[in-house]
Amino acid sequence: MTPVDLVWLVPALPLAAMLIIFFGTRMVEIAVQPRPAAVPAPTDHGGHGGHGPADAATTPDTEAGHDATDQTAHTTHGAAAAGGGHGEHGGHTPFWPMLSSIIGVSALLLSFALSLLILWQFLDVNGDVFHTKNLIATGKDIHLYNWFTIGSLNYSIDFRVDTLTVVMLLVVTGVSTLVHLYSIGYMAGDPGYSRFYIELALFTVAMLILVLGANFLVLFIGWELVGLSSYLLVGFWFYHNPPPPGSEVPYPPPAQLKAFVTTRLGDFGFLIGILILFTATGTFNFIELNTKTQAMDKGLLTLAMILVFCGAVGKSAQFPLHVWLPDAMAGPTPVSALIHAATMVAAGVYLVARLFPIYEGVAGPQALAVVGYTGAFTALFAATIALTQNDIKGVLAYSTISQLGYMFAGLAVADTNTVGMYHLFTHAFFKALLFLGSGSVIHAIGAQDMRKMGGLARFMPWTAGTILVATLAISGIPPFSGFWSKDPIITTALEKGNYIIYGLTLFTAFLTAFYMFRLFILTFGGQGSFLGLWGGHDQYRGDAHPRESPRVMTFPLVVLALATILIGLAGFAGFNQGFAWFLNHGVNVDFPVAPALDANTFIGVGAGVLGILLAIAVYGYGLRLNVALASSAVTRPIYRLLYRRYFLDELYLWLIRVVVLGLSNLCALFDAYVIDGIVNGSARAVRGLGNITRRSETGILQNYGAAIFGGAMIILILVFVATGAIGR
């Protein structure tokens, strides 16, 4: 019994934790808490501005306001709850909910430890420790159980552990453990504390099923279940009041709906793609597909792979289905870190990486071209929006979309899936760090508008320091991890002669550095000596009393910052080369993952440095470029276009209102007037006829008999006469 044989425990442990919390600690928690009165009294939730269901009752809500269907009818609610700002300094968590979180964290720690053991076993190439030789090349298939077999078609629940899966297992369990831990602080005192841990565990289970799946069936199950947990967690604070009009902060109830339905739209294409592949090959299994697709019609296969990529476009929030991800920030910030930055949204990248042998080797070049151009375009597109947003989580959301675009571009330009996957790997850590850091800020001041921040570094040195590390990493500055993963994408595009993707990604690198340092300075610094980071005047523009978050929250930040630094430093020792070797099943690949110290690399890093310098000039030294651009008559429309996110939300809403609901109304009206009109009309005609021919009173039952048999006989006679069947 080696660790890899126990891989089913990796998802089973969080599943067990979920069930224990759901049926155990949470039930006890509900049983021991005092029964709420029919009308909830306004209670103090330890400073949680607007988190309790009770708060709805304290606001001057009117019953008339609910007659309108539109959410804007609710805007009269008190502003205290608006925006999902997470009160100051948290509250106290009672015993039973606390037990829930301890169960959750323990299960995840065990899963992570097991994943590490599996990694060790894979690295144990000669079988010295585990007596499993060369697992790195072969991987391991684990058959769990059969759904059913129909003829030669197998619907079975199989796991497969190979190097790609091991990488994902580590990323998912690692980041998830830290987020579980962090949430003890962030969610402290929340009335839905246990529910939060149930849903977080559900997500982890689903994501692990997704990466462990050996076939499309299992992968799709995980794929949809992460969608469910995303839906639940985005809507975690479903009882919040809507934010005031004009706020950039998303509102949970519509956001969760949008997230699920938009990704489902991508899944529609994904499912059709699966159907094409399944019909042609008769299998869902990835290994079998690698060989069996070779006999397929090239054009059909290419189409199928593009359709499969549609699923990735939805899940990984690529243009044009990216609109759900910024809204998904309505969920608690730990959720944004885990699901909407580090892991789930990377599932699309994982999907393409998983099917890379087919994309790269079997399907036509158009398939990867679609992946690459979608990714590169999205990278730039999202970065331009990020330039103008004021919501700290909004900027990070667009930055996530942009970085996911990089990953797709990396998958498309290189000969292996290593380049894209390596960016997924490093990005998971520094983006989780950015989100958890922003959560620390939001937790401290109860606001997420950067215009109400500034100078926070002096209050929150740990948060500021760790975020700086992540900001440098995402800007592609050596020696941080982002440099080693992002630069290869840009330089490979150049080497392969793909100048469009090269230009897009290079320019995006400049924008990325700019908007990330804009975020950093607006939040933690300001104008003044040392960018207002320390010394000098207080730069804080808000009215809360910021202080550093508790250690249970800063500890994960430090761990993630260390990971970002160490992975970066290990790059000098060839860590990324080792990653490529590992991901390619223990074979060294030709492709040089390590950026060479040549002119191309300097151009990439130079773009990042330029962006940083510009951000410092504008936001640290008062170069009023931003104000000029936003107010000049020429550039103001462009600024507005970016600030309003290219008006895509409005366009989609219009399409739904006019096209979808329009057609739906047509269906309903057709039923009500045309079909029912005919039905009711003929009923009236029959009744009229009945009045003429009525001879005597009859009961219901006799009418039945007459109708049933009389009708049948008439029809039968008509048929017989018409066909002449009787005469034969």
The piece of 36-44, 463-471, 490-498, 644-652 that touches another protein (CB under 8 A) is 36-44
Cβ–Cβ under 8 Å, residues 121 and 27: no
Site for another protein contains 272 (CB under 8 A): yes
Distance from C-alpha of 57 to C-alpha of 278, rounded to nearest angstrom: 53
Cβ at position 52, least distance to another protein in Å:
9
Cβ at position 66, least distance to another protein in Å:
4
Among 27, 32, 275, 627, binds another protein (CB under 8 A): 275
Q: Which residue has the tokens 């993630």?
A: 560
The piece of 84-92, 417-425, 638-646, 658-666 that touches another protein (CB under 8 A) is 658-666
Nearer to another protein, 167 or 232 (CB): 232
Site for another protein in 708-727 (CB under 8 A): 708-709, 711-716, 719, 722-725
Q: Please tell me whether the peptide bond between 94 and the residue prior to it is cis, using omega within 30 degrees of 0.
A: no
424: nearest Cα among 493, 342, 316, 483: 342
Site for another protein in 138-157 (CB under 8 A): 145-148, 150-153, 155
Cβ at position 338, least distance to another protein in Å:
21
391: nearest Cα among 447, 436, 454: 447
Residue type for position 581: W
Site for another protein contains 652 (CB under 8 A): no
Site for another protein in 60-89 (CB under 8 A): 61-63, 66-67, 69, 71, 74, 77
Number of residues that bind another protein (CB under 8 A): 86
Structure tokens at 527: 């104008």
Among 59, 290, 366, 527, binds another protein (CB under 8 A): 59
Site for another protein contains 664 (CB under 8 A): yes
Among 159, 193, 220, 575, binds another protein (CB under 8 A): 220
Nearer to another protein, 260 or 517 (CB): 260
Query: How many residues does the structure list for the chain?
Result: 728
Among 56, 142, 594, 603, binds another protein (CB under 8 A): 56
Nearer to another protein, 74 or 541 (CB): 74
Site for another protein contains 239 (CB under 8 A): yes
Among 79, 117, 137, 265, binds another protein (CB under 8 A): 265
Cβ at position 84, least distance to another protein in Å:
13
Site for another protein in 670-709 (CB under 8 A): 671, 675-676, 679, 683, 701, 704, 707-709
Cβ at position 267, least distance to another protein in Å:
7
415: nearest Cα among 224, 591, 586, 217: 591
Nearer to another protein, 254 or 357 (CB): 254
Task: Give the side-chain half-sphere CA count within 13 A for 407.
Answer: 32
Among 45, 48, 86, 240, binds another protein (CB under 8 A): 240
Site for another protein in 321-380 (CB under 8 A): none
Binding mask 393-432 for another protein (x = CB under 8 A): ----------------------------------------
Site for another protein in 565-624 (CB under 8 A): none
Site for another protein contains 244 (CB under 8 A): no
Nearer to another protein, 129 or 663 (CB): 663
Helix (H) or strand (E) holding 10: helix 9-20
Distance from C-alpha of 324 to C-alpha of 450, rounded to nearest angstrom: 22
Tell me the CA end-to-end span of the chain in Å, nearest whole number: 76
Residue type for position 395: V
Nearer to another protein, 226 or 386 (CB): 226
Residue type for position 1: M
Site for another protein contains 231 (CB under 8 A): yes
- 158 by DSSP, 3-state: which? strand
Cβ at position 680, least distance to another protein in Å:
8
Nearer to another protein, 223 or 502 (CB): 223
Nearer to another protein, 271 or 562 (CB): 271
596: nearest Cα among 681, 484, 682, 513: 484
Cβ at position 452, least distance to another protein in Å:
24
The piece of 107-115, 230-238, 483-491, 592-600 that touches another protein (CB under 8 A) is 230-238
Nearer to another protein, 633 or 667 (CB): 667
Cβ at position 148, least distance to another protein in Å:
4
Cβ–Cβ under 8 Å, residues 464 and 549: no
Cβ–Cβ under 8 Å, residues 483 and 445: no
Sign of CA dihedral 5, 9, 12, 14: negative
Site for another protein contains 41 (CB under 8 A): no
Cβ–Cβ under 8 Å, residues 364 and 298: yes
User: CA-CA-CA-CA torsion for 667, 673, 675, 679, nearest 10 degrees?
Assistant: 160
The piece of 54-62, 321-329, 345-353, 432-440 that touches another protein (CB under 8 A) is 54-62
Q: Nearest 5 degrees, angle CA 348-CA 349-CA 353?
A: 120
The piece of 32-40, 41-49, 404-412, 430-438 that touches another protein (CB under 8 A) is 32-40
76: nearest Cα among 91, 88, 59: 59
Cβ–Cβ under 8 Å, residues 559 and 178: yes
- Structural Rg of the chain based on CA atoms: 29
Residue type for position 157: I
Cβ at position 79, least distance to another protein in Å:
13
The piece of 101-109, 276-284, 356-364, 480-488 that touches another protein (CB under 8 A) is 276-284
Phi, psi of 187 (to 5 degrees): -95, 5
Distance from C-alpha of 154 to C-alpha of 222, rounded to nearest angstrom: 18
Cβ at position 576, least distance to another protein in Å:
36
In the beta sheet, which residues pair with residue 215?
A: 285
Distance from C-alpha of 103 to C-alpha of 101, rounded to nearest angstrom: 5
Site for another protein contains 653 (CB under 8 A): no
Q: How far is CA 11 from CA 209, 222, 301, in A?
A: 7, 11, 33
Residue type for position 612: I
